[in-house]
Amino acid sequence: MRILDQNFREYRFLWLAGLLFFVFSSCKKDKQGAEITNTPELKSSVQNIVLHREDAEKEAITFSWSLATVQGTQGALTYFLQWDRKGNNFANAAQAILGKDISHFAYSHMSFNYLMSTLPVEVASPIELRIVTATSDGAVMPFYSNVITLTVTPYAKELPPPYSQLWLVGDATPAGWNIDSPSPMLQNSNDPYLFSYSGALNAGEFKIPTAKGSWDAPFYRPVTGSPDLSDTRVQLSAGEPDYKWKITTAGTYKVNLDLRALKITIAKQ
């Protein structure tokens, strides 16, 4: 079954109250003679799903349902997938548009992981889902399918940083070349890819070790020896050439390292 990822950027993930206000505001009352004669019966291809980053483009789950019917309307029927945590009675429901006059919809691992982005990662969470049906002409108020239960284990949208602790080592740092007790950098609490050091630096050299007590572990280093401090390029490497940053004037410095972009800023305060 073809995965409908080409519509991925067009998904509308809105809270129920907001979506119903904008989409269904014309449905103030049923039109004369319009009658719901069949509500959808929702099914899913799996009941327990573990989403995987490496399978991002592969099909993860397919939802299928019997078509709704409404007598006395000429409008198309639009289907939405609505979900919330199990037992929440859809009080904080989110939903996504599936399409008009269709009876199935397939999600890839990536697209369904995006839909489940409010769930904790790497944790199996039970959720409840249902189909919401609306008529394009507002002949009847939106109505619901049966409720199904699904257990979902999402993955993190972004890979965790390769290191959770980094340091400065070198004769420019307060600890000197003591690899067993280098000067620590601070990991940003909001973005774990960002590390910083604020403090005194002497005239001398330094590099950034990824492990205490080991000269063989990789280091974050400049891409050339003793570059100008305006050069923001960084490499992660071990062995030779053993490039280092060079501080020419002692003082108080702020060092910011971005592991995601492999960039560093070194500024005298």
pLDDT of residue 123 exceeding 80? yes
CA distance 228 to 108: 47
pLDDT of 74 reads 80
The structure's pTM equals: 0.58
Which residue is it, tokens 């014309």?
Answer: 26
Give the chain's radius of gyration (CA, Å): 28
Percent of the chain past pLDDT 90, that is, above it, reads 79
CATH class of 167-268: mainly beta
Cβ-contact 77, 91 below 8 angstroms: no
For the cut 70, the answer to whether the pLDDT of residue 258 exceeds it is yes
pLDDT of residue 11 exceeding 60:
no
Mean pLDDT along residues 118-142: 93
Q: How many Cβ atoms are within 10 Å of 45's Cβ, its own excluded? A: 15
Looking at the domain that runs over 5-153, which CATH code has it been given? 2.60.40.10
Residue type, 138: G
- DSSP H helices in 141-242: none
Q: Do 5-153 and 167-268 agree at the fold level?
A: yes
Domain residue spans of the chain: 5-153, 167-268
Per-residue pLDDT at 158: 79
Task: Give residue 32's pLDDT.
Answer: 57
